[in-house]
Structure 1
């Protein structure tokens, strides 16, 4: 229905959002390595570093012997299934991540991102206790960034490519764009047609992002801003 292009929300407290850009670069680098693996090695990497509920719960041996079971709650977010999966997640992180890093500071934003990563994985695990397929992708962590953004900057303008009759760019308040996104996640969860998408990870990451923002934002950054 829509694709975000950019927002009109300047950063104020940091000169460069290097944690956001570093995360994007790291995800891209890891995917480049993945893309050059053989199909069998790619599958093995996904199994070894993805988040598999029965592995995290210690019901099945860890495929990577030196990796603690809990580590998969974080490593999964740096793997992606294909280019579209990677580019979609990184586009959202590019647009919204710099403002959240600005609102929190570099180190607190990194803590925020990793916390959303782990909490999104736990939300997926809670509703898939006996799951034996790997969860991969930064969607849960990026959903946390989006949750923080809608809390801090609901009135900021986001330019989206909307498909009405033909694709056209439209400026819309972040609240409407991100509100539509979260509503769509709930809708797809309800009608679940067996798609290989963890809607619970998205919802868990989004909720975690909102909750953690109250703790990690700068005191000078108000809630419900972006006017």
Structure 2
């Protein structure tokens, strides 16, 4: 299912206007207009979600499969590739699918509730992927993750998940407190998703289900909403 989600997100992105690869959307101003309309149609617009909740109820789900740029897509898919497979193997295909969609939906809904008057479209899978990271942290706290740190000249360094992922969450928290109004990264959706994922794994599996051995190393990417 992890690889299926990656393939679906990539396919939808390539066929959509954000990729710039589909001639039917035009170029220049026409392409920009098509992108805005596409994001508004399939993404979450908080003001519209709460003004017309029945009509817009599915947008937190559809937004999980829409990405705004190549960097946005590839960053999210790298994280899903690295952390999704092991989490899915532990949960099982069906449970992982429901977990991914449910936590992703609630993460975007939480962001929308905190920005209920915003007219900006919110798209991306990072709320759901953040939930995967939270579950991974609980289930595989000692798993070794290879990270690229700017202050070490991007040399690959291996740390256990219990070091890397809380550090990542702390960065999201700090960034969320500095985010101004307007388009940008939805750090709050990351935090909500991460908390939901960790909490779900904690309640669902309990202490006995945690894997303390270190599995094969995996690279860490950059997550954006």
TM bucket normalised to smaller: 0.7 to 0.9
Aligned residues: 202
Distance in 2 (CA, whole Å) between partners of 1:159 and 1:41 is 39
Question: Is it true that 1:116 corresponds to 2:103 in the alignment?
Answer: yes
Query: What root-mean-square deviation, in Å, do the aligned CA atoms of Structure 1 and Structure 2 show?
Result: 2.0
- More helix by percentage: 2
Asked if structure 2 preserves the Cα contact closer than 8 Å seen for 1:53 and 1:129, the reply is yes
2:210 maps to: 223
How far residue 215 of structure 1 moved from its aligned partner, in angstroms, is: 5.0
Distance in 2 (CA, whole Å) between partners of 1:81 and 1:138 is 11
Asked if structure 2 preserves the Cα contact closer than 8 Å seen for 1:152 and 1:224, the reply is yes
Greater than 6 Å deviation, 4+ residue runs: none
Distance in 1 (CA, whole Å) between partners of 2:207 and 2:134 is 19
Q: Structure 2 vs 1, CA of residues 225 and 165 (structure 1 numbering), >3 Å: closer, same or farther?
A: closer
Equivalent position to 2:49, from 56, 71, 76 = 56
- Structure 1 gaps of 5+ residues are 1-18
Question: Is it true that 1:150 corresponds to 2:150 in the alignment?
Answer: no
How far residue 23 of structure 1 moved from its aligned partner, in angstroms, is: 0.2
Asked if structure 2 preserves the Cα contact closer than 8 Å seen for 1:79 and 1:138, the reply is yes
Q: CA offsets, 1:57-111, max 9 Å, x none?
A: 1x26x9xxxx941100100111111000000000000000001101100000000
Asked if structure 2 preserves the Cα contact closer than 8 Å seen for 1:112 and 1:216, the reply is no
Question: Is it true that 1:103 corresponds to 2:96 in the alignment?
Answer: no
TM-score (norm 1): 0.83
- Structure 2 gaps of 5+ residues are 215-225
Distance in 1 (CA, whole Å) between partners of 2:157 and 2:55 is 46
Distance in 2 (CA, whole Å) between partners of 1:108 and 1:199 is 26
- Partner SS for 1:102: helix
Higher RCO (CA < 8 A, seq sep 6+): 1
- Partner SS for 1:80: coil
Question: Is it true that 1:43 corresponds to 2:31 in the alignment?
Answer: no
How far residue 165 of structure 1 moved from its aligned partner, in angstroms, is: 4.2
1:194-209 correspondence to structure 2 within 5 Å = 194=181, 196-209=184-197
1:20 maps to: 2
Q: Structure 2 vs 1, CA of residues 182 and 220 (structure 1 numbering), >3 Å: closer, same or farther?
A: closer
Q: CA offsets, 1:19-56, max 9 Å, x none?
A: 00000000000110112234222221111000011221
Asked if structure 2 preserves the Cα contact closer than 8 Å seen for 1:108 and 1:216, the reply is no
Asked if structure 2 preserves the Cα contact closer than 8 Å seen for 1:104 and 1:216, the reply is no
- Partner SS for 2:57: helix
